[in-house]
Amino acid sequence: MNTEEMQALRTRYARYAADGREMYKTSKKYDDPPDGREQHCFPPQHQLGT
């Protein structure tokens, strides 16, 4: 990526980065999706003996 392309990318995403939040790691919105365990070949949480 050249300098102009990199600056265009920064400009494009500046408003999303401005508040400093990263929803993927800091919110319950993405925590334990229903199909998350299945896609990694793990049994559903309710089948575990805990």
Q: Residues of the chain whose pLDDT is less than 50?
A: none
DSSP 29: G
pLDDT at residue 19, as a whole number: 75
Distance CA 1, CA 22 (A): 24
Q: What pLDDT is recorded for position 45?
A: 78
Q: How far is CA 29 from CA 24, 35, 43, in A?
A: 8, 14, 21
32: exposed, middle or buried (Cβ count in 10 Å: 0-12, 13-18, 19+): exposed
Amino acid 34: pLDDT: 67
